[in-house]
């Protein structure tokens, strides 16, 4: 508890990275090892970033279990994303995948092993051999704690490389100079309430997703969309925000994730008749069809009265037949989650599950080097000098309209590394920092001061809860014109209410309350971007399932959405259908 100071100290770095999850720490490692002076900010201790919760695996066509090919991985990713992904970026990611996974292995990441010593790989939704012919084992796993193993490995390598961590520091806003170049961030030390300017030749956003704009979510409480909020306030667009993935298996009532790895290891979904209903919806891939497909099928079963439990509001995930020994070896955390959150012994009883918000496919638009890009007005793209975005907060568009499981951890390391390399090659060391504008911190400090002086009657968590409830009600698995139109209206009302939040007793404000109030500004930007973009898209594609327009409409809608906060305005840009070296995968009907 301390008052906000007005005189702001400044520190100078070659690069500032906001976020210490998998993407931020992969990039920082590249920079620190190249001898750059790099600062990494995080709201929580680095190894508590949401990446730590990733369970199932990281995708790469190593072919350790049976024949595999990066080109098949590319096909699955393009098709899984319902043809909205940029094929140049997808080719880049799938080709790089084996290299970055072996690199992690050499960093010391404790992957599960096959008897011959190679990395163990399990099947995952939508991953196939030979262009959809049959499921393939592509997910490299460390039991059901892959993200934990990944994040700890990267943290240790960063400690060795002397990366400078600012733990429990929250970036509030970016600083852009008169030319629009990004020259650093203003940040708050959460313990003391002190603000500081971190000047940087390059700023990299790695702030993760915004899953907390929905009421039922598998995401950590810190996932409030700060990167998207900062970008939107700085006049940058957000891309494809209507596409949000519902994970089929969140524990009913609790939201906690049960990894798709459970179905990869043989688990099946059953309805109240005990029927394995996915056989009807996806005859080839069954329970391992992509997530949007499985979530919609589950919702359909529940709608048609075949849900389980007294309220018929969930289905069951059955893994009893896998056997206690395999469960204990490959899925130990799931056993624990079953006990703690569903009160079942998963070796003897099925787990009640419902589709739960999990991942945002959209984010801050970038190119394959992680550089943030905006439309130039003539159909081409302009690079925002000094700003990169990587990981879940970015949209390089490898996931299109629906992400395949294991492709996010892959995205983090591929593009974290690529951005790091690009920064190193830009010869940062030899360049000096651009001059800070005189009013560098004014915008951020105005936001801080507004909170201190506001006399409004709104409470931060009151508005935040209403945002989550509104998004859940109007922007769910199945969307309609009526729901979305009403949802947009209600979110706009919440945007007004948000401006009137204040602290009850101004003499006793805890910094945690300040942090939550600052996060609220980010939640609302992300929620607006999501629901306004969703309301405009009159088709069904990937995770955007529209009951009034049930078909994909490639003629009109095969394009990326760009939402601008200023003027609450939308524009569109073309999908890159041309890969780097191979032939285009042309849109086809999506059956599994």
Is 146 one of the binding residues for ligand FAD (CB under 6 A)? yes
List 89, 236, 257, 509, residue binding ligand FAD (CB under 6 A) = 257
Site residues for ligand FAD, 327-386, by CB under 6 A, read: 359
CA distances from 570 to 305, 536, 566 (A): 39, 9, 10
Q: Angle at the Cα of 578 (from 574 to 581), degrees rounded to 5? A: 155
CB under 6 A: which stretch of 92-100, 215-223, 291-299, 376-384 binds ligand FAD?
215-223
The yes or no reply on residue 21 touching ligand FAD (CB under 6 A) is: yes
CB 238, CB 364: distance < 8 Å: yes
Catalytic residue among 95, 122, 145, 291: 291
43 is a site residue for ligand FAD (CB under 6 A) = yes
Q: Which of 74, 50, 254, 280 is nearest to 150 (CA)?
A: 50
Considering the rule CB under 6 A, would residue 218 count as an interface residue with ligand FAD? yes
Q: How far is the CB of 326 from ligand FAD (least distance, A)?
A: 18
Provide the minimum distance between the beta carbon of 427 and ligand FAD in the complex, in angstroms, as a whole number: 26
Looking at 545-591, which runs of residues are DSSP E strands?
A: 545-546, 559-564, 569-574
* CB-nearer residue toward ligand FAD: 146 or 367: 146
549 scored as a contact of ligand FAD (CB under 6 A): no
User: Closest distance between ligand FAD and the C-beta of residue 225, in Å?
Assistant: 8
Residue 471 tokens read as 């998004």
Question: Which tokens sit at 538?
Answer: 């009159």
Neighbours of 560 (CB within 10 A): 22
63/225 with CB nearer ligand FAD: 225
Work out whether 471 is an interface residue with ligand FAD (CB under 6 A): no
Helix 511-536 and helix 226-233, axial crossing angle in degrees, nearest 10? 70
- Count other C-beta atoms under 10 Å from residue 62's C-beta: 18
Contact of 241 with 259, CB cutoff 8 Å: no
- With DSSP H G I counted as helix, E B as strand and the rest as coil, what are the percentages for the chain, rounded to 5? 40, 25, 40
Cβ at position 188, least distance to ligand FAD in Å: 8
What is the rounded distance in angstroms from the CA atom of residue 501 to the CA atom of residue 278? 46
**Distance in Å, CB of 370 to ligand FAD, minimum:** 12
Interface with ligand FAD, residue 206, by CB under 6 A: yes
Residue 497 burial (CB count, 10 A): 18
Taking CB under 6 A as the rule, does residue 123 contact ligand FAD? no
**Contact flag: residue 222 with ligand FAD (CB under 6 A):** yes
User: Site residues for ligand FAD, window 391-430 (CB under 6 A)?
Assistant: 391-393, 405-409, 412
Q: Does residue 569 carry a catalytic annotation?
A: no
Q: Where does this chain touch ligand FAD (CB under 6 A) — which range of 18-26, 194-202, 271-279, 372-380?
A: 18-26
Contact 200, 184 (CB under 8 A): yes
Rg of the chain (C-alpha set): 23
Phi, psi of 449 (to 5 degrees): -70, -35
What is the CA angle 46-50-56, rounded to 5?
120
The nearest distance, CB 53 to ligand FAD, in angstroms, is: 4
CB of 563 to ligand FAD, least distance (A): 20
Contact between 264 and ligand FAD by CB under 6 A: the answer reads no
Residue from 15, 16, 18, 78 touching ligand FAD (CB under 6 A): that is 18
Task: Determine contact, residues 371/270, Cβ cutoff 8 Å.
Answer: no
Residue nearest to ligand FAD (CB): 21
Q: Is 171 in the site for ligand FAD (CB under 6 A)?
A: yes
**CB-side neighbour CA atoms (13 Å) of 391:** 30
Of 145 and 544, CB closest to ligand FAD: 145
Mode of pairing for the β-strands spanning 182-189 and 169-176: antiparallel
The residues annotated with a catalytic role in the active site are 291
Query: Contact positions toward ligand FAD, by CB under 6 A?
Result: 18-24, 41-44, 49-51, 53-58, 146-147, 170-171, 206-209, 218-219, 222-223, 226, 257, 259, 359, 391-393, 405-409, 412
């Amino acid at each position: 508890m301390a008052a906000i100071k007005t005189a702001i100290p400044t520190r100078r770095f070659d690069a500032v990275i906001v976020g210490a999850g998998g993407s931020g720490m992969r990039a920082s490692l590249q920079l620190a090892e190249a001898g750059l002076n790099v600062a990494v900010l995080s709201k929580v201790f680095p190894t508590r970033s949401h990446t730590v919760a990733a369970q199932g695996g990281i995708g790469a066509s190593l072919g350790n279990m049976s024949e595999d090919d990066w080109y098949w991985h590319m096909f699955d990713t393009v098709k899984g994303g319902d043809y909205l992904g940029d094929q140049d970026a997808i080719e880049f990611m799938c080709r790089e995948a084996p290299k970055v996974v072996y690199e992690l292995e050499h960093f010391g990441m404790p992957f599960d092993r096959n008897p011959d010593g190679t990395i163990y790989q399990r099947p995952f939704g939508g991953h196939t051999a030979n262009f959809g012919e049959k499921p393939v084992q592509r997910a490299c796993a460390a039991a059901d704690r892959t993200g934990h193993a990944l994040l700890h490995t990267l943290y240790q390598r960063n400690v060795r490389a002397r990366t400078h961590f600012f733990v429990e520091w929250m970036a509030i806003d970016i600083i852009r100079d008169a030319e629009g170049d990004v020259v650093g961030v203003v940040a708050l030390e959460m313990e003391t309430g002190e603000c500081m300017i971190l000047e940087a030749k390059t700023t990299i956003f790695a702030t993760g997703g915004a899953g907390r704009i929905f009421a039922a979510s598998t995401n950590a409480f810190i996932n409030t969309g700060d990167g998207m909020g900062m970008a939107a306030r700085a006049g940058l667009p957000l891309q494809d925000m209507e596409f949000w993935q519902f994970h089929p298996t969140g524990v009913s009532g609790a939201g906690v994730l049960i990894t798709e790895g459970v179905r990869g290891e043989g688990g099946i979904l059953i309805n109240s008749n005990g029927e394995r209903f996915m056989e009807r919806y996806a005859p080839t891939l069954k329970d391992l069809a992509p997530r949007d497909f499985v979530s919609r099928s589950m919702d359909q079963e529940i709608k048609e009265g075949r849900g389980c439990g007294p309220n018929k509001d969930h289905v069951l995930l059955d893994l009893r037949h896998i056997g206690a020994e395999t469960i204990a070896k490959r899925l130990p955390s799931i056993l624990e989650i079953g006990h703690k959150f569903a009160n079942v012994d998963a070796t003897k009883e099925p787990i009640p599950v419902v589709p739960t918000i999990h991942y945002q496919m959209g984010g801050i638009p970038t190119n394959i080097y992680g550089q943030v890009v905006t439309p130039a007005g003539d159909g081409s793209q302009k690079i925002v000098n000094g700003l990169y975005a990587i990981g879940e907060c970015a949209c390089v568009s490898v996931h299109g309209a629906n992400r395949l499981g294991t492709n996010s951890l892959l995205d983090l390391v591929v593009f974290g590394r690529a951005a790091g390399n690009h920064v190193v090659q830009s010869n940062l060391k030899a360049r000096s920092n651009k001059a800070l504008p005189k009013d560098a911190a004014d915008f951020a400090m105005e936001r801080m001061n507004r909170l201190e002086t506001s006399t409004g009657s709104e409470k931060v968590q009151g508005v935040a809860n209403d945002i989550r409830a509104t998004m859940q009600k109007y922007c769910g698995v199945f969307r309609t014109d009526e729901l979305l139109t009403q949802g947009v209206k209600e979110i706009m009302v919440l945007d007004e209410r948000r401006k009137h939040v204040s602290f009850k007793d101004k003499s006793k404000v805890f910094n945690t309350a300040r942090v939550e109030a600052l996060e609220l500004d980010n939640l609302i930007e992300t929620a607006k971007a999501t629901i306004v973009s969703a309301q405009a898209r009159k088709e069904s594609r990937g995770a955007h399932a529209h009951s009034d327009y049930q078909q994909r409409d490639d003629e009109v809608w095969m394009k990326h959405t760009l939402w601008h906060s200023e003027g609450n305005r939308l524009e569109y840009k073309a999908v890159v259908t041309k890969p780097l070296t191979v032939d285009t995968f042309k849109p086809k009907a999506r059956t599994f």
